[in-house]
Amino acid sequence: MLIDDLRRIFLFEGLSDEQLRDLIAAGDEVRFESGDVLFREGEPADFWWVLIEGRVELLRRTRWEEAVAGVMDRPGVWAGGFRAWSDQAGYLATGRGASPGVMLRVPAEALGERARAWFPFGVHLIEGFFQTVRNMEALSRQREALAALGTLAAGLAHEINNPASAAVRAAGALQDTYDVLLSSLVHLAERSLSAGQFIAIDTLRRELGMGTASMSPLAAADREEALAGWLEAHGVATAWDIAPALAAAGADMAWCERAGQILEGSTLESGLEWVASTLSATVLLSEVKEATDRVSGLVATMKSYAQLDRASLQLIDVTEGIDSTLVMLGQKLQGGVTVIRDYGTGVPRIEAHPAELNQVWTNIVENAIDAMDATGTLRISTRAGPEHVIIEVTDTGPGMPPEVQARAFEAFYTTKDVGKGAGLGLDISRRIIVERHHGQITIDSRPGETVLRVHLPCRRENRQ
């Protein structure tokens, strides 16, 4: 490798020929082909890698697969060498050749020695900055992750609580109904109800349905009272236990008269108890099914939100992720927030990392709710552009001052009170949209309206 090879690279501006020769002597030239692995994530960052020509992909391993997190495609871009500043540092990603090329590889120890000899003051600053930033970022990202997990858990628990409680109540009532149903059958058997009578009353039972579905509460109460009066007049001691179920199923006075002709004497009360309990059991079973279906649906939504056991990169409908996010944030949305879904027609599916986009939607929606102080209108719009899908999240909060808007995407910048924000939400969102999906994210804010606009390409160009 010649001095002229390094002289043309911006990274080495200001170094003398002697320093460049010394750097070349300390390192070695590494030529690579497409697919060659140069360094691996997590291994000690013992070498400083500087791109001279070609293209290198940076891969990060997730739980299920290895995905491209970035790319080195400009001469002078570097990776690794962190052991020049910290004995515990490792490679942050795996470097894999994406095309034939050349890199300068310098041992981290040699890099540190030359940096200390050439720029002693600068090295002290770098070491302090390196450690401070690593510690701050680790703590802040951990805090952000825990906050996101807490939001997810709270939202899911809140949404599941209502259907789960309904299922428990219905199951408890079903046990009582089951006991009445069995006891009424025993009483009918003891009173020698004939097979013909049982078939006849069962036929009457089958005529009943949800006959009061279209009735007003007042009309339903009047019917229940009339049925209870008829039952009491015919010596039924449990009239007020039986009447509600019969009224809810649509029984009227004429139905009761027909039942009275079949169930004569002592079998009337037990026979109507059996009818009422079977009707109640049907209603309760329907409630249990509806509640458990709701819980099952929430679990499915949770899996969709977290993208469990699914490939990282896939074709998706962005509205599915947005809706999943709104479900997860349901507790925060209840009360004073009105959600308007303005989903456009003909919006194409896009190639994306859905779990990462769900994190973006979570950050954006949470910020909008906080900006409105949990009271206002949240509008989420989607539409198709010539080459992009456009997503807009609009809130009716007070808006961002120009100085806040200018710094909104800076890491660790937050306007929230201490303990309420790490200043990483929009920074992470920007990284996911711009760096991972090659899209754009912008803010347009004025008093009473803030629009956060995301452009995502329908197909990722230069797929990595």
Q: Where are the alpha helices (DSSP H) in 236-377?
A: 239-249, 253-262, 267-306, 318-328, 330-333, 354-371
CATH number at residue 363: 3.30.565.10
pLDDT in tens, 126-153: 655 556 556 655 655 566 556 666 666 6
Alpha carbon 202 to its chain centroid, in Å, reads: 49
> Which is it for the CA torsion 367, 371, 376, 380, positive or negative?
negative
Is 144 within the bounds of a domain? no
Please check whether residue 17 is in contact with residue 4, taking contact to mean a CB–CB distance below 8 angstroms: no
| Residue 100 pLDDT greater than 90, yes or no | yes
Out of 174-188, 207-221, 264-278, least confident range: 207-221
Domain boundary residue among 86, 118, 150?
A: 118
Q: For the chain, what is the domain count?
A: 3
Distance CA 183, CA 180 (A): 5
| Residue 338 pLDDT greater than 70, yes or no | yes
Please spell the DSSP secondary structure of 106-139, one letter per residue.
Answer: EEHHHHHHHHHHH-HHHHHHHHHHHHHHHHHHHH
User: First CA to last CA across the chain, in angstroms?
Assistant: 29
Is 149 within the bounds of a domain? no
Q: Is 383 strand, coil or helix?
A: strand
Please tell me whether residues 213 and 239 are part of one structural domain. Answer: yes
Out of 11-25, 125-139, 241-255, least confident range: 125-139
DSSP state for residue 410 in the 8-state scheme? S
DSSP state for residue 10 in the 8-state scheme? G
Residue 283 identity (one-letter amino acid)? V
41 against 141, higher pLDDT: 41
Out of 44-53, 124-133, 283-292, least confident range: 124-133
Sheet strand arrangement including 37-39: 37-39, 94-97, 56-61, 66-72
Please check whether residue 370 is in contact with residue 355, taking contact to mean a CB–CB distance below 8 angstroms: no
3-state secondary structure 223-240: HHHHHHHHHHHCCCCCHH
Is 130 within the bounds of a domain? no
Of 428, 396, 454, the closest CA to residue 148 belongs to: 428
Q: What is the pLDDT of residue 304?
A: 59
Please check whether residue 388 is in contact with residue 454, taking contact to mean a CB–CB distance below 8 angstroms: no
| Residue 198 pLDDT greater than 50, yes or no | yes
Of 85, 83, 87, the closest CA to residue 39 belongs to: 83
Please tell me whether residues 243 and 326 are part of one structural domain. Answer: no
Please tell me whether residues 353 and 318 are part of one structural domain. Answer: yes
Out of 55-59, 115-119, 309-313, 317-321, least confident range: 309-313
Please spell the DSSP secondary structure of 315-335, one letter per residue.
Answer: EE-HHHHHHHHHHHTHHHHTT
Q: Is 88 strand, coil or helix?
A: coil
Count of CB atoms situated within 10 Å of the CB of 376: 17
Please tell me whether residues 271 and 365 are part of one structural domain. Answer: no
333 against 347, higher pLDDT: 347
State the chain's mean pLDDT as an integer. 82
Please check whether residue 332 is in contact with residue 371, taking contact to mean a CB–CB distance below 8 angstroms: no
Please tell me whether residues 332 and 276 are part of one structural domain. Answer: no
Please tell me whether residues 293 and 317 are part of one structural domain. Answer: no
Please tell me whether residues 331 and 434 are part of one structural domain. Answer: yes
Q: What is the pLDDT of residue 452?
A: 93
Q: What is the pLDDT of residue 463?
A: 42
* Percent of the chain predicted with pLDDT > 90: 22
| Residue 87 pLDDT greater than 90, yes or no | no
Please tell me whether residues 178 and 87 are part of one structural domain. Answer: no
Distance CA 109, CA 112 (A): 5
CATH number at residue 11: 2.60.120.10
Is 154 within the bounds of a domain? no
Is 192 within the bounds of a domain? yes
| Residue 301 pLDDT greater than 70, yes or no | no
**Parent domain of 435:** 309-457
Distance CA 31, CA 283 (A): 74
Q: What is the pLDDT of residue 462?
A: 41
Q: What is the pLDDT of residue 6?
A: 86
Q: Do the strands 78-80 and 94-97 form a parallel or antiparallel pair, or are they unpaired?
A: unpaired
120 against 45, higher pLDDT: 45
Please tell me whether residues 443 and 341 are part of one structural domain. Answer: yes
Is 302 within the bounds of a domain? no
Cα 198 to Cα 178, 230, 251, 267, 376, distances in angstroms? 18, 21, 18, 10, 60
Distance CA 304, CA 204 (A): 47
Is 155 within the bounds of a domain? no
Domain boundary residue among 229, 264, 297?
A: 297
pLDDT in tens, 416-451: 554 444 445 687 788 888 878 889 999 999 999 999
Please tell me whether residues 433 and 327 are part of one structural domain. Answer: yes
Q: What is the pLDDT of residue 123?
A: 60
Angle between helices 108-118 and 17-26 (to 10 degrees): 160
Q: What is the pLDDT of residue 421?
A: 47
Please tell me whether residues 422 and 317 are part of one structural domain. Answer: yes
Of 431, 425, 409, the closest CA to residue 144 belongs to: 425
163 against 281, higher pLDDT: 281
Q: Compute the average pLDDT of residues 302-310.
A: 58
Q: Which two tokens stand for residue 251?
A: 């029984």
Cα-based angle 267, 272, 273 (whole degrees, multiple of 5): 100
Distance CA 306, CA 423 (A): 22
Cα-based angle 119, 48, 99 (whole degrees, multiple of 5): 135
Q: Is 153 strand, coil or helix?
A: helix
Please tell me whether residues 289 and 321 are part of one structural domain. Answer: no
Is 304 within the bounds of a domain? no
| Residue 324 pLDDT greater than 70, yes or no | yes
| Residue 461 pLDDT greater than 50, yes or no | no
Domain boundary residue among 267, 297, 327?
A: 297
